[in-house]
Homo-oligomer: A and B are copies of this chain.
Amino acid sequence: MAGVITLERILALQAAYIRCIDHNELEAWPEFFLDPCLYKVTTAENHKLGYQSGIIYADTKGMLIDRVAALRQANIYEKQNYRHILGLSDIVKNDGGEAKSETPFMVVRIMHDGRSDIFATGLYLDTIRATGSDLKFVQRIVVCDSSRIDTLMALPL
């Protein structure tokens, strides 16, 4: 019995997702997605133009797992952390078992030497499904406001 999707449950999912990344527990990150799925990072401009590709594109859970493995093995030249601050989720559509929502986000990046800057702002466009006792992402499209996004992006958004 998967229960119905409510705003409260969506907010809890969003909070758990950013906690996972901001606490650098990336190995748990693919678990937020169904398989197959769609995880895409794109820009507002390209999203508006209907471009299918993105800065990051993954459509299976395996691709998400690979991505984390690559991050862990790669030489990240400068250590960094994210701090996500989210706005309230707006439920665009909800049939109880599946919902579409939009959530504004801002990510501050903290470099190893202590510098902080606004790394990205934008909107999460999500399709969420209730499975078992959990909510999972069928689809998360991360639409970044700025076209000047670091393509070497070390951590997922």
Contact = CB atoms under 8 A, between A and B. Distances in A.
A14 B113 CA distance: 30
Quick one: copies of this chain in the complex? Answer: 3
A54 interface: no
Contact of A85 (B14, B106, B116, B146): B106
A50 interface: no
Interface residues of A, number: 35
Contacts of A106: 83, 85, 106, 108
A121 B117 CA distance: 10
Interface of A: 11, 14-16, 18-19, 22, 44, 81, 83-88, 90, 102, 104, 106, 108, 110, 113-118, 121-123, 145-149
